[in-house]
């Protein structure tokens, strides 16, 4: 079964990262902070899923 939560997090991160690269946003902007939050959520979810 597909992990929809994981796919949603990855899609949001990919979209934000593309926007940051396109606009040239620096660290500390709300978009970059959200990417960091998504990274931690993804890591926690993968760890939970693994064991």
Contact 38, 19 (CB under 8 A): no
pLDDT, mean over the chain: 92
Average pLDDT, integer, range 17-42 = 95
Here the tokens at position 31 are 């978009």
Measured on CA atoms in the order 36, 41, 46, 47, is the torsion positive or negative? positive
Here the tokens at position 1 are 């079964």
| R_g over Cα of the chain | 12
Contact 10, 42 (CB under 8 A): yes
Terminal Cα distance for the chain, rounded: 17
Per-residue pLDDT at 18: 96
Per-residue pLDDT at 1: 55
* Domain spans, the chain: 4-50
pLDDT digits (tens, 9 = 90+) for 6-27: 999 999 999 999 999 999 999 9
């Amino acid at each position: 079964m597909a992990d929809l939560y994981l796919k949603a997090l990855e899609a949001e991160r990919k979209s934000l990262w593309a926007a940051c690269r396109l606009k040239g946003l620096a660290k500390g902007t709300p978009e970059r902070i959200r990417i960091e939050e998504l990274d931690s959520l993804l890591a926690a979810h993968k760890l939970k899923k693994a064991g």
